Structure 1
Amino acid sequence: MAEFSAPFDESPIATQSQWSRMARRWGLDGVHATDPADTTLKVVGNGSGNVTLAVGEAFVNGFYYKNDTTKTIAVTPNAGGAARVDLVILRASMSAKSVTAVYKTGGTSAPALADDEEGIYEIPLAQCTVAAGSSVVTAVNVLDRRWFTGRGAAPSLPGARRPSVKSQLLVEGTNLYVGDGAGWKFLSSPGIEEGFYTPQWSAGGANFHWGTFAKNDGRYVVRGKRVDVNIHVIPTANPPASDEPIMVSLPPGYPAAYDHRSILNWAYTSNNDEGSGIGVAVIYPTSSTTKIARLRYSMSDSLSSTATPNAFSVYTNKPWNIRTGDILTIDGSYWLA
């Protein structure tokens, strides 16, 4: 096939097929409506031998359709012995050179839609069920089946937003909003899909590691101002005993917010017959915004249920002597500055 490009002065759009092929790239087939609750091109049954089509506009196979007054469409009588499932459609016809609203009969299920882009092409508006021997469709026997089309996301300047448009997407800087007709609601901002790092462990001011062949993995995902992080450790050697609590680094370049403490979860299982434990991993911004400062667990000095509990920190050597084969996992979220 020879190359084709248009429209140019010496190469215009000369046929409806060329127009359809070009216009299909501009928008999806469907009804132009800001919300599915709109009555744009909605079909209603009223218990008579007709259904009504509301005013509205649509794209069908790259062609524009407009109905500017309520249209009455006749229901095809059902002479069969079982209920029949029909459709009201918009049909674009290359041979008829038009887009029209049509009542299309089916059978025990709805009829198939034609999808020949060079011939007949159809999109649904409503599904109608006609009882055996009947020629009427009541309101409850009409199901909305409209496809919808829309606009692309609109760019915007901070402080100079256009009035809110329902279901419209708005891009402002790197943030995405959606309109509800009254205002613009924040949806999301860009993040890091998934990142990996090697956590740095310390106790007091001294760094330590879990053994030459230890598993010491950190992974994280950034969504706007929130960081989801998972740290997983399986030692291959005993870390040195310390009188200072265990600390571990957060993903590099993503420090925690200073104005509040973030809390994650941790779980420990001994492979050396010393039991297990769970607790919370706490980021104390006054201590560091780049580290989890404490692995805390709750317990009491008494067996009484009324005794006041207290929180204690995990060390490399207490309450467990962490060593080869044990498993320590930290998982949770924190907020960026």
Structure 2
Amino acid sequence: MAEFSAPFDESPIATQSQWSRMARRWGLDGVHASDPASTVLKVTGNGSGNVVLAVGEAFVNGFYYLNDAAKNIAVTTNAGSTARIDTVVLRSSMSAKTVRAFYKTGGTSAPTLAADENGDYEMPLAHCTVAAGSSVVTAVNVVDRRWFTGRGAVPGIPGARRPSVRGQLLVEGTDLYVGDGADWRWLASPGVQEGTYTPVWSAGSTALSWGAASTNIGRFQVQGKRATVSIYLVAAANPPANPGPIQASLPPGYPCTPERRATFNWTFTSSNGEGAAVGVATTYPDESTTRITRLRYGTSDGNSASATINAAALLTRQPFNIRPGDVLTIDGSYWLA
């Protein structure tokens, strides 16, 4: 096949097929509407022998379509014994050299749409249910099936936003918003889809080693000012006893906010016959914004209702002697600095 490129002075767009092939790359087929709730090219039924197509514009197979006045489209009589599902379509026809609205009959399900980009190509507007022996379609028997053209995200300047458009994306700086018709709602900010790191462990100010063969994996995800962390540790060595609380580092480059503490869940399972436990892990920003500094579990000084409830820090050998094969996990999220 010979190469082709256009439009140039010596190589113009010469055929409708070339135009269609080029234009359908500019945007998706669909109805031009700022809001799917609009009535642009919407089909309605009123109990007569017609359905009504509202005014509006569309692209179909790269061709432009305009209906500038409400249009009656005749309903084909259902001569069968069961209800029939029909479709109102916009049909682009290479042979007829037009885009026009048509009423297309179906059966117990809607008819198949033509999809020949070099011949007839159809885009649905509505499904219409016609009762057996009838030629009328009421309002409740019309189901909207319009496609809509895509709208790319538009840039915005803080303090100078355009009016909100339902379904429209707005990029302001590096933040993404979506319009609901009344306001712009924040969707996302730059972050990390999925990252991994090797947590650094300590007991107080003393570095902890769980053994060279240990499994020590941290996974994290960042969206906007929120980070989610999951740490999975399988010990391969028995670190010495230390009176300082066990600590684990947060993902490098993502310190927690100094304004508040964050809470995580931790679980411990012993492979050495010492049972299992769950507790709460916490950041203490006044001590460090880069570490989870406390892994706590609930205790009390007795069994009575008046017994004092307290929380003790998990140590390397208290209340469990953490040894090879034991599993410690930490999961939670925190606000970034």
Q: TM-score range by the shorter chain?
A: over 0.9
SS in 2 for 1:22: helix
CA 1:306/1:32 → structure 2, altered by over 3 Å: closer, same or farther?
farther
SS at match of 1:140: helix
2:305, 2:268 → 1: CA distance? 25
Task: Determine the C-alpha separation between the residues in 2 that align with 1:160 and 1:5.
Answer: 41
Q: Specify the alignment match of 2:265 in structure 1.
A: 265
Asked if 2 retains the 8 angstrom alpha-carbon contact of 1:29 and 1:60, the reply is: yes
Instruction: Provide, for residues 177-209 of structure 1, a one-character-per-residue CA deviation record: whole Å limited to 9, x for no partner.
Output: 112223221111122121111111111211011
Q: Give the deviation of 1:306 after TM superposition.
A: 4.8
**2:38 corresponds to which residue?**
38
AA paired with 2:287? S
Q: CA deviation at 1:227?
A: 1.2
Q: Which amino acid aligns with 1:49?
A: G
- Looking at structure 2, the residues matched to 154 and 334 of structure 1 have their Cα atoms a distance apart, in angstroms, of 31
Q: Distance in 2 between matches of 1:3 and 1:190?
A: 41
Output the CA distance in 1 between the equivalents of 2:156 and 2:2: 41
Q: What are the within-5 Å matches in structure 2 for residues 241-252 of structure 1?
A: 241-252=241-252
Cα-to-partner distance string for 1:122-164 (whole Å, 9 max, x where unaligned): 0101111111111111111111111111321112233332222
Q: Does 1:13 align with 2:13?
A: yes
Partner of residue 127, structure 2: 127
Partner of 1:204: 204
AA in 2 matched with 1:57? E
CA positional deviation for 1:168: 1.2
Q: 1:246 to 1:77 in 2, by over 3 A?
A: same
Counterpart in the other structure of 1:96: 96
Unpaired segments ≥5 residues, structure 2? none
Q: In the aligned structure 2, how far is the partner of 1:260 from the partner of 1:138?
A: 60
Q: Matched residues in 2 for 1:195 and 1:150: separation?
A: 32
CA distance in 1: counterparts of 2:306 and 2:7, whole angstroms: 83
TM-score between the two structures when normalised by the length of structure 1: 0.97
- What amino acid is aligned across from residue 302 of structure 2 in structure 1? S
Does residue 310 in structure 1 map to residue 310 in structure 2? yes
Name the stretch that deviates more: 303-312 or 122-131: 303-312
Displacement of 1:329: 0.3
Report the TM-score, using the length of structure 2 for normalisation.
Answer: 0.97
Give the Cα–Cα distance (whole angstroms) in 2 for the partners of residues 271 and 46 of structure 1.
73
What does 1:42-81 correspond to in 2, within 5 Å?
A: 42-81=42-81
Matches within 5 A, 1:118-267: 118-267=118-267
Q: Which runs of 4+ in 1 moved over 4 A?
A: none
1:299 shift after superposition: 2.2
Counterpart of 1:210, as a letter, is W
Provide structure 1 residue ranges, at least 5 long, that are not aligned to the other structure: none
- For 2:44 and 2:308, how far apart are their aligned partners in 1? 67
- Greater shift after overlay, 189-198 or 23-32? 189-198
Contact between 1:256 and 1:335, CA under 8 Å: does it hold in 2?
yes
Q: Is the 8 A contact 1:33 1:150 kept in 2?
A: no
Q: Take 2:280 and 2:215, find their aligned partners in 1: how far apart are those partners?
A: 21
| Superposition RMSD in Å | 1.3
- Secondary structure at the aligned position of 1:59 is classed as strand
**Alpha-carbon separation, structure 2, partners of 1:92 and 1:84:** 24
> In structure 1, what is the equivalent of residue 319 of structure 2?
319
Q: How many pairs align? A: 337
Determine helix, strand or coil for the equivalent of 1:135. coil
Tell me if the contact between 1:265 and 1:281 (Cα under 8 Å) persists in the aligned partners: yes
Q: Does residue 1:114 correspond to 2:108, yes or no?
A: no
Cα distance in 1 between the residues matched to 2:308 and 2:101: 75
Q: Deviations over 1:34-53 (max 9, x none)?
A: 22221111111111111111
C-alpha separation between the residues in 2 aligned to 1:116 and 1:264?
A: 56
Residues 46, 139 of structure 1: 8 Å contact kept? yes
